[in-house]
């Protein structure tokens, strides 16, 4: 029995001459918790976008639970749940409506959907706020709701792209408790990115480090520390990726946010 659930082979993405992801290959096993680390602009988000069908690779392939993300897009999409880097809820709908919307899109049958929504909203401790509009939620509450939403259709793989960014330590610890619990209880494969190296060290069974669009290291946190003769994973990370500070270019979306603010206020 093949135990691979995510299989990435020679994945490359070029944007008019610029190579964001360069010939990346790796696999993830069923039930594994993998942290995908790298400095800003290293190619993390581009890779996750290709893994989750939001971006078509220039060359190379990705298989999720055996389904090719380009040629069998819908089957591939059914296998995963995702928490995006930026919020992706509808603020004008209630918490419950956001989950209901998701459940319908993923064709979860009505009776199962209702009980699953209740179960998950209790799990992330938002059941008493189910009829509140999402725009009244704090950042942490929105994140929890997004986690609940991503799990609604019983995905085999759970992608989390910087899920703890902007959250206070209490919420972060709490959030990882949910996720680790989930991995143990339901054997869900977890693939996440984060800037908090100590989170990766604590939660992940395996680390993949990407820089300048290439995989520069992978292994268990222990292995990486031994390999680089470092005391902490953070030191090992800096060993692989250097000390230079990286800047990300402001995206079109950032510009648009500003304009929208001016527009509405």
Partner 1 sequence: MKKQVQLTICGSAIAGGTINKMNTIYILWLRQLKRYLRSRSRIIGSLGQPILFLVAFGFGLGPTFQKAGQGNYIQFLVPGIVAMSVLFTAVFSGIEIIWDRQFGFLKETLVAPVPRSGIMIGRTLGGATVATIQGMIVFALSFFVGFRPSGWGNIGLAFIFMFLTAMLFTALGTAIASVLEDMQGFQLIMNFLIMPLFFLSGALFPLNNLPPVLKIITAIDPLSYGVDGMRGALEGISHFGLGTDFGVLSVMTLVILAIGSYLFSKIQL
96 binds partner 1 per the rule CB under 8 A: no
- What's the min distance (Å) between Cβ of 73 and partner 1? 8
Indicate the residue among 243 and 262 with the shorter CB distance to partner 1. 262
- Contact pattern from residue 114 through residue 133 relative to partner 1, giving x for each residue in contact according to CB under 8 A and a dash for the rest: -------------------x
154 binds partner 1 per the rule CB under 8 A: no
Contact in structure between 19 and 185 (CB atoms under 8 Å): no
Largest CA distance in the chain: 58
- What's the min distance (Å) between Cβ of 133 and partner 1? 8
180 binds partner 1 per the rule CB under 8 A: no
- Contact pattern from residue 4 through residue 43 relative to partner 1, giving x for each residue in contact according to CB under 8 A and a dash for the rest: ----------------------------------------
Span interacting with partner 1, options 75-83, 118-126, 199-207, 223-231, rule CB under 8 A: 75-83
Span interacting with partner 1, options 48-56, 166-174, 216-224, 238-246, rule CB under 8 A: 48-56
Binding partner 1 (rule: CB under 8 A), the pick from 14, 30, 78, 214 is 78
Secondary structure of the chain in the HEC alphabet? Answer: CCCEEEEEEEEEEEECCEEEEEEEEEEEECCCEEEEECCCCCCHHHHHHHHCCCCCCCEEEEEECCEECCCCHHHHHHHEEEECCCCCCCCCCEHHHHHHHHHHHCCCCHHHHHHHHHHHHHHCCCHHHCCCEHHHCCHHHHHHHHHHHHHCCCCCEEEEECCCCCCCHHHHHHHHHHHHHHHHHHCCEEEEECCCHHHHHHHCCEEEEEECCEEEEEECHHHHHHHHCCCCHHHHHHHHHCCCCCCCCCCHHHHHHHHHHHHHC
- What's the min distance (Å) between Cβ of 229 and partner 1? 40
Indicate the residue among 46 and 183 with the shorter CB distance to partner 1. 46
214 binds partner 1 per the rule CB under 8 A: no
* Binding-site ranges for partner 1 (CB under 8 A): 49, 52-56, 74-75, 77-78, 82, 84, 86-93, 97, 100-102, 104-107, 133, 149, 252-253, 255-257, 259-260, 263
């Amino acid at each position: 029995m093949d135990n691979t659930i995510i299989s990435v082979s020679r994945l490359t993405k070029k944007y008019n001459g610029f190579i964001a992801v360069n010939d990346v290959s790796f696999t993830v096993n069923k039930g594994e918790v993998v942290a995908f680390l790298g400095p800003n602009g290293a190619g993390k988000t581009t890779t996750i976008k290709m893994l989750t069908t939001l971006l078509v690779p220039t060359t190379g392939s990705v298989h999720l639970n055996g389904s090719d993300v380009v040629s069998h897009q819908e089957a591939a999409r059914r296998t995963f749940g995702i928490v995006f880097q930026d919020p992706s809820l509808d603020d004008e709908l209630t918490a419950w409506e956001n989950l209901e919307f998701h459940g319908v899109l993923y064709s979860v049958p009505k009776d199962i959907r209702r009980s699953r929504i209740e179960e998950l909203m209790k799990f992330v401790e938002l059941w008493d706020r189910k009829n509140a509009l999402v725009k009244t939620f704090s950042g942490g509450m929105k994140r929890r709701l997004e986690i609940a939403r991503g799990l609604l259709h019983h995905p085999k793989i759970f992608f989390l792209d910087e899920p703890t960014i902007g959250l206070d330590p209490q919420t972060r610890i709490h959030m990882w408790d949910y996720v680790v619990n989930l991995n143990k209880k339901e054997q869900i494969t977890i693939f996440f990115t984060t800037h908090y190296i100590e989170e990766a060290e604590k939660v992940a069974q395996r680390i993949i480090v990407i820089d300048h669009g290439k995989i520069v290291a992978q292994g268990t946190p222990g292995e990486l520390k031994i390999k680089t003769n470092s005391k902490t994973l953070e030191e090992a990370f800096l060993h692989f990726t250097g000390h230079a500070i990286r800047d990300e270019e402001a995206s079109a979306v950032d510009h648009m946010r500003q304009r929208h603010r001016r527009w509405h206020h």
